[in-house]
Each structure stands twice: as structure tokens, then as C-alpha cells.
């Protein structure tokens, strides 16, 4: 079956990242199930020769069944999020697609360098955002248009002088086209308009446009404050996501070592199966947290780039 690969670009990046997150969480669950099945095989063989108590065999069977259920749940979450994404992209949900995760993985690989590169002077970020963000530029254009409307309305209080002219055919004595060149000429008209009284219409127009200008000015300032707030929030979220990702990476290393030691001690008979199951569960949880933290960082970085106007959506 054809499995086209695509890299979606659309206005709901969270849906895309949710699919990738669930895809990685599914892989974590599948790897954990493989370890559990391997452990069950070893315990089953050891139980046959009397080296392992039957209680350990039952306990491992229960754990393996729970891990199988975790895989089923992870597969369901991945499929549902993928169908939601296909629906947003107006694609056929009955077909199979490979979701491309090259771009997010590249962001994670360059997390340290790009993070430090993009976090710099706050005032400079605000200046760049004001020059690039469509919402602020739209408010700026609306304010300028309102200012021009005030100027045009105020011109109604002043006299106006207009000059009109044209060049055309003059009907002189008849319609004989044989003398066409002799019956053409220029018409010029100079008109002076002096406003005396217009029923206060001009004053009303001026006041209305001045009010519109004040509203546009307030909207512009409000949009500027929103840009500043968005950047502050995006910076805080990005910093938090980066720290969480760093902590999760360290937790995985620690949990992996604890699981390895617990497995070795259990195989040597100096540890219980319960200790090994707890260490394995902690390791699986640490891996899941690492996946979630990684994609939270990718999303926070994307929101930061939107806040400063580097991305439009």
C-alpha cells in the first residue's frame, strides 16, 4: 500500500506535534513490552527448574499483560491523533500515511545552539516583532488611515479651487465633418467653492473621524501591549520547556542505570522481582516524560517564533 510521507504546514501545529508525540510514546510502550516479554521468558524457564518462585512468574505475567494493555492504549491514542490531523488537512482518513518528523527532530538536535541564539535582548525582540507581526502592522495601517480621514474631513472648512479642462469637437453651425479640424478646441473651467453653512455636517464629520482616530490609536497601543505580553509569555514558556527537557534527559540516565542494577541484582538473586518491576516502571515513565518534554520544547519554540514575528502561524 502506498504510504506517502508529508511535512504538514498549517495553522494547527499542536495537532501535528501531538501525532509525533504519540508516535514516540507508542514506541516507548512497545520497547517496554519487549523487555517485559523477554523477562517473562527468562522467569518461565527459571521456574521450570525451580530457580524462581511461582509467585514471581504470576507477578511477571500480570506485568506483561499490563504492558500489552499500555501498547493498545498508546496505539489507540496515536491512531486517533493521526486521524484528527488528516481531518484537519482534508485528507482521506482511510489511507495510510507516514508522518514526517524530520523537522522537529532537527530542532531537538540543535536545541542548545538555537535556544541560546534566539534568546537575546528583549527590547530588540519587541522591535522586530512590531516590524513583522501582521496584527500590529494592520493596526498601524488602520491608525494612519484614520489620521488621513481626519485631515480630509477638516479640509471641508476651507475654500477649495478646482480646475477642469478638456479637448473635444465643437458643433458649430451644423454637423459637417469636413470641417472637423476647424471645429475642435479646449474647454477650461476654474471653480471656487467657499463653504458658508452646511448644517454643521462638516463639523460632525470632523468629530466622527477624530473619534475614529482616537479609537484606532488606542487599538494600536493595545496591540503593542499584546505583542510585548506575548513575547514575555513565550520567553517564559520556552525557558521552562528547555529546563524541563534537560531535567528529563538526566532522569532517563538515572532511571536506566537503576533498572540495569536492579536487573543484575535480581538475576544474581540478591533482589526481588518487585524491585525490578518498580525500576522498570520508573524507567518507562522517565522515557515517556522525556518524549513529552521534547515535544513541549518544540512547541514552545514555535510559539516563541510566532510571538516575535519570525513565523506567520
Regarding whether 272 and 217 lie in a shared domain, the answer is: yes
Regarding whether 244 and 169 lie in a shared domain, the answer is: no
- What is the pLDDT, as a whole number, of residue 270? 87
The residue among 140, 175, 194 that closes a domain is 194
* In the chain, % of residues over pLDDT 70: 74
Regarding whether 95 and 175 lie in a shared domain, the answer is: no
Regarding whether 153 and 168 lie in a shared domain, the answer is: no
Q: Is residue 8 part of a domain?
A: yes
Regarding whether 145 and 261 lie in a shared domain, the answer is: yes
3-state DSSP call for residue 60?
A: helix
Q: Is residue 67 part of a domain?
A: yes
Regarding whether 285 and 170 lie in a shared domain, the answer is: no
Q: Is residue 107 part of a domain?
A: no
Contact indicator for 137, 168 with CB cutoff of 8 Å = no
Regarding whether 163 and 152 lie in a shared domain, the answer is: no
Regarding whether 137 and 237 lie in a shared domain, the answer is: yes
CB atoms within 10 A of CB 191: 9
pLDDT exceeds cutoff 90 at 251: yes
Regarding whether 265 and 152 lie in a shared domain, the answer is: yes
- What is the pLDDT, as a whole number, of residue 261? 95
Tens digit of each residue's pLDDT (9 = 90 or more) over 97-144:
777 666 566 666 565 555 554 556 788 889 999 999 999 999 999 999
CA distances from 80 to 83, 87, 93, 103, 123 (A): 5, 11, 10, 22, 42
- What is the pLDDT, as a whole number, of residue 267? 87
Q: Is residue 63 part of a domain?
A: yes
pLDDT exceeds cutoff 90 at 79: yes
> 16, exposed or middle or buried, with CB in 10 Å at 0-12, 13-18, 19+?
buried
Regarding whether 308 and 286 lie in a shared domain, the answer is: yes
**Which CATH number do you get for residue 309?**
1.20.1600.10
Length of the chain: 313
Mean residue pLDDT across the chain: 82
CA distance 122 to 129: 11
- What is the pLDDT, as a whole number, of residue 50? 86
Average pLDDT over residues 187-206: 67
- What is the pLDDT, as a whole number, of residue 122? 83
Greatest mean pLDDT among 62-66, 91-95, 300-304 lies in 62-66
11 vs 84, higher pLDDT = 84
**Count of domains for the chain:** 3
C-alpha grid cell for residue 190?
Answer: 476654474
- What is the pLDDT, as a whole number, of residue 153? 78
Range of the domain at 189: 159-194
**Residue 160, beta-bridge partner list:** 193
pLDDT exceeds cutoff 60 at 186: yes
Contact indicator for 190, 163 with CB cutoff of 8 Å = yes
The residue among 148, 178, 194 that closes a domain is 194
Average pLDDT over residues 246-255: 95
Q: Is residue 110 part of a domain?
A: no
Q: Is residue 116 part of a domain?
A: no
The residue among 171, 194, 217 that closes a domain is 194
Regarding whether 136 and 252 lie in a shared domain, the answer is: yes
Q: Is residue 112 part of a domain?
A: no
Residue 181 DSSP one-character state:
G
Amino acid at each position: 500500500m502506498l504510504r506517502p510521507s508529508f511535512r504538514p504546514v498549517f495553522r494547527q501545529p499542536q495537532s501535528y506535534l501531538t501525532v509525533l508525540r504519540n508516535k514516540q510514546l507508542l514506541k516507548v510502550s512497545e520497547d517496554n513490552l519487549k523487555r517485559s516479554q523477554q523477562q517473562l521468558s527468562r522467569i518461565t524457564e527459571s521456574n521450570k527448574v525451580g530457580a524462581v518462585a511461582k509467585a514471581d512468574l504470576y507477578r511477571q505475567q500480570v506485568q506483561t499483560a499490563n504492558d500489552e494493555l499500555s501498547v493498545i492504549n498508546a496505539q489507540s491514542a496515536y491512531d486517533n491523533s493521526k486521524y484528527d490531523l488528516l481531518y484537519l488537512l482534508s485528507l482521506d482518513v482511510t489511507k495510510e500515511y507516514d508522518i514526517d518528523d524530520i523537522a522537529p527532530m532537527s530542532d531537538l538536535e540543535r536545541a542548545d545552539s538555537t535556544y541560546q541564539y534566539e534568546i537575546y535582548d528583549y527590547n530588540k525582540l519587541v522591535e522586530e516583532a512590531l516590524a513583522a507581526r501582521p496584527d500590529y502592522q494592520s493596526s498601524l495601517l488602520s491608525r494612519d488611515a484614520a489620521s488621513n480621514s481626519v485631515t480630509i474631513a477638516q479640509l471641508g472648512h476651507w475654500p477649495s479651487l478646482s480646475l477642469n479642462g478638456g479637448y473635444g469637437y465643437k458643433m458649430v453651425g451644423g454637423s459637417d465633418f469636413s470641417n472637423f479640424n476647424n471645429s475642435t478646441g479646449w474647454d477650461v473651467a476654474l471653480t471656487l467653492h467657499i463653504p458658508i453653512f452646511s448644517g454643521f455636517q462638516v463639523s460632525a464629520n470632523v468629530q466622527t473621524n477624530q473619534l475614529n482616530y482616537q479609537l484606532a490609536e488606542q487599538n494600536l497601543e493595545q496591540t503593542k501591549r499584546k505583542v510585548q505580553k506575548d513575547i514575555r509569555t513565550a520567553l517564559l514558556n520556552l525557558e521552562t520547556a528547555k529546563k524541563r527537557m534537560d531535567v528529563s534527559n538526566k532522569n532517563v540516565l538515572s532511571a536506566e542505570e537503576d533498572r540495569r542494577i536492579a536487573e543484575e541484582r535480581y538475576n544474581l538473586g540478591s533482589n526481588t522481582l518487585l524491585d525490578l518491576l518498580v525500576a522498570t516502571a520508573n524507567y518507562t515513565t522517565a522515557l515517556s516524560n522525556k518524549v513529552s518534554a521534547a515535544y513541549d520544547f518544540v512547541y514552545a519554540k514555535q510559539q516563541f517564533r510566532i510571538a516575535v514575528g519570525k513565523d506567520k502561524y
